[in-house]
Structure 1
């Protein structure tokens, strides 16, 4: 019996590709958190009229500072739990005259936010 060698080679290659593609879910993927992990308790420490240095002391260095507008800092966090779900959190800090004036994003504004710290 004589086989068509190119056709047999192609069939073997196609079968191996199909079998190996099923193994991709076996690869262990480590979940790496990216960005600034913040909790509501961290945000609760913020007060109106805090300086940029005080905010950085409480929350750490922001992931991104707006290159064209130094009055906004962005704190972002992404964590992939598995292939279908991920956790995303964002907090934007707004400054005027280098003093904290407003928060926006996925966190609640603290109840005591409008009470400035004693200097």
Structure 2
């Protein structure tokens, strides 16, 4: 009976601390902008498949169009969706749609480095402190 009480109280304490880590959700083709920047018109199908991998959707009746669909939700809740459509004429890439990133840089689809994560955590901490005290702290160098 004591063991059950200890386990239940420990579970209650842990659930209140938000220690649970949420895994990132990736579906479809997760394509980074640096991969898309390497695409060039006139590449053959093998070269495109080497760069981007197999397309997630191809039309069984039209072999001249490949669709790459990507969805990524980070543990912080940031969601990125991307649809890239490639059109071929014969064996060569003729047209590309969705390769330019509308936001300038798609951070949620990239794997951030340690420095970026630390900077984001510092920024989040400063924002939390400014909400609690009412004082807005400006980062160094700005």
**What TM-score, normalized to structure 1?**
0.59
TM-superposed CA distance for 1:81, in Å, is 3.5
| 1:99 counterpart residue number | 92
Kept after mapping to 1: 8 A contact 2:67/2:86: yes
Among candidates 46, 52, 62, match of residue 59 of structure 1: 52
Q: Which entry has the higher C-alpha Rg, 1 or 2?
A: 1
Q: Tell me how many residue pairs correspond in the alignment.
A: 84
Please report how far the alpha carbon of residue 82 of structure 1 lies from its aligned counterpart in structure 2 after TM superposition. 6.4
2:82 is matched with 89
Map of 1:32 onto structure 2: 25
Counterparts of 1:40 and 1:30 in 2: how far apart (Å)?
22
Structure 2 length as normaliser, TM-score?
A: 0.51
Q: Does the alignment pair 1:70 with 2:63?
A: yes
Higher relative contact order (CA closer than 8 Å, sequence separation 6+)? 1
8 A Cα contact 2:23 2:75, kept in partner: no
Q: Name structure 2 gaps, 5 residues minimum.
A: 1-14, 102-142
Contiguous gaps of at least 5 residues in structure 1? 1-22, 110-119
RMSD of equivalent CA atoms: 2.4
Whole-Å separation in 2 of the counterparts to 1:84 and 1:46: 30
Q: Distance in 2 between matches of 1:33 and 1:93?
A: 21
Q: Indicate the structure with greater helix content.
A: 2
Q: Is the 8 A contact 2:23 2:74 kept in 1?
A: no
1:37-61 deviations in whole A, cap 9, x for unaligned? 1122111111111111110011111
